[in-house]
């Protein structure tokens, strides 16, 4: 009866963790590695927001997705459940701990292999009015430092 309760509790935990992992872990394209999100300035007229400036610098920003994710957690839970089925007494506890650790490692490695490394470009632009604006973009196209650009709704392109 105690094994059934343990199995039921572990299954409930596994379901909860699986559902929690269903949320999107991707960050929007306009978020840099430090977590700062850049939004284009709002307009009241509904028309596109357009400004002109000169590119001061371009930086490649890589998102490191090596933290603990759903794969690690699910692997630990499954490994712990499988390990709990082995042995009895202290051997059972040791098998549960070893199973959880092995499952966490395996889940983390699988998750890491399946993740795509996200890259974006941070363009620092000196605007005509003297202010500085930062634009995060997936690609720069043919934009280089020193180019004149038009920034339309937060996206820069050469003109």
**What's the domain count of the chain?**
2
Q: Are residues 39 and 104 in the same domain?
A: no
- In DSSP notation, 47-103 reads S--EEEEEEEEEEEEEE---S--HHHHHHHHHHHHHHHTSSSTHHHHHHHHHHHHHH
pLDDT score recorded for residue 117:
63
Q: Are residues 10 and 81 in the same domain?
A: yes
Contact 146, 123 (CB under 8 A): no
pLDDT score recorded for residue 67:
63
Q: Are residues 141 and 95 in the same domain?
A: no
Q: Are residues 83 and 53 in the same domain?
A: no
Facing residues of 157 across strands? 150
**Residue after which a domain boundary falls, among 94, 114, 134:** 114
Q: Are residues 22 and 10 in the same domain?
A: yes
What is the domain extent for residue 11? 1-29+66-114
Q: What is the pLDDT along the chain (159 residues), one digit of tens a residue?
A: 555 566 566 665 665 556 555 544 444 445 555 555 554 444 455 556 788 999 999 998 876 655 667 888 888 888 888 888 887 777 888 888 888 888 888 888 888 777 666 778 899 999 999 999 988 888 888 899 999 999 888 889 888
């Amino acid at each position: 009866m105690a094994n059934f309760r343990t199995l039921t509790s572990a299954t409930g935990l596994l379901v909860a963790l699986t559902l929690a992992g269903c949320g999107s872990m991707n960050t929007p394209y306009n978020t840099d590695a430090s977590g700062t999100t850049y939004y284009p300035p709002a307009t009241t007229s509904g028309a596109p927001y357009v400004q002109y400036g000169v590119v001061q610098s371009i930086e490649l920003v890589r998102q490191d997705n090596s933290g603990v994710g759903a794969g690690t957690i699910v692997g630990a839970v499954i490994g712990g459940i499988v390990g709990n089925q082995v042995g009895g007494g202290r051997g059972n506890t040791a098998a549960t701990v070893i199973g959880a650790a092995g499952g966490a490692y395996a889940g983390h490695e699988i998750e890491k292999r399946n993740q795509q490394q996200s890259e974006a470009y941070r363009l620092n632009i000196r605007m005509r009015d003297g202010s500085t604006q930062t634009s995060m973009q997936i690609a720069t196209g043919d934009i280089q430092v020193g180019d004149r650009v038009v920034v339309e709704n937060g996206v820069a392109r050469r003109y």
